[in-house]
Amino acid sequence: MNEPDFIAALRALPLHPGARGLADDCAVIALGSETLILTHDMMAEGTHFRADADMADVASKLVATNLSDLAAKGAEPLGVLLGHTLGRDDARFLEGLREALAAFDTPLLGGDTIAAAGARTFGLTAIGRATHTPVPTRSGARAGDHIYLTGPVGRAMLGFEGDPAHRAAFDRPVPRLAEGRALAPLVSAMMDVSDGLLLDAFRMAEASGVTLALDPAAIPVADPSRMEDCIRWGDDYELLFTARPSATLPVAAHRIGTVSPHGLAPLTLGETALTDPASLGYRHG
């Protein structure tokens, strides 16, 4: 099975209403006067990090990628649960974990540690509390909304390729937690850009039942000469969101398009209609 097929099969299992039909990056569970936000992400050697990667960077990125999902919900982190596979440089992993938890003011709640043969895999569950309800979702974009991006895409790609100016963007991304909390009361839809701007915009459009019309000239990219790569590569963890034209944004953001009623394609890039998500960004399997 590939990733979309497996997720489709999961939807046949008993789902909690807070799972949002597995169409979002987080579960949203109301408990009394609070709303909890839960997410879980994994990283595998050879896919998400090189075999010779600094394990401090791996730990930091593991925390950041999970907290980025909380940021897209406007959530305040409460803590994380770690799934750790023992191996080389565990002390460096712990150092990176300590630095990330301190930087993002997020405590460790517990987890599990194993030893296993082969490539190492790490998992992290992040738990947060909503700072605004209703909690932002992928599925709220409406015709007439403006489409925004909090920052440029393509920096992680350049960092992965060795560009020293962008190395930190790949090794140690920073979740847009403050921006997410500030935007939560204003957005109609919001998600983080983890698998490529085009693929994630396609997902938002499909979830919302609209067409996202992107203006290629307005999209901020780290290297304009490689725009096609920048908007497909992923790992940028900027926030992609939609809001009414009358909204006064509390954070810096780039307007990159307009939401249209559902048309022939969920996504357009200038005059080009994009209908096949397989070519738009990164998917497992």
Sorted by where each starts, the structural domains of the chain and their CATH numbers stand as 3-130 (3.30.1330.10), 138-279 (3.90.650.10)
- Alpha-carbon distance of 122 to 134, in angstroms, equals 31
pLDDT value for 3: 83
What's the whole-number mean pLDDT along residues 264-271? 95
Average of per-residue pLDDT values in the chain: 95
Q: Is the pLDDT of residue 285 over 60?
A: no
- Condensed to tens digits (0 to 9), the pLDDT of residues 242-253 reads 999 999 999 999
pLDDT value for 251: 98
pLDDT value for 112: 97
- Condensed to tens digits (0 to 9), the pLDDT of residues 85-144 reads 999 999 999 999 999 999 999 999 999 999 999 899 999 999 999 999 999 999 999 999
Q: Is the pLDDT of residue 284 over 60?
A: no
Q: Is the pLDDT of residue 282 over 70?
A: no
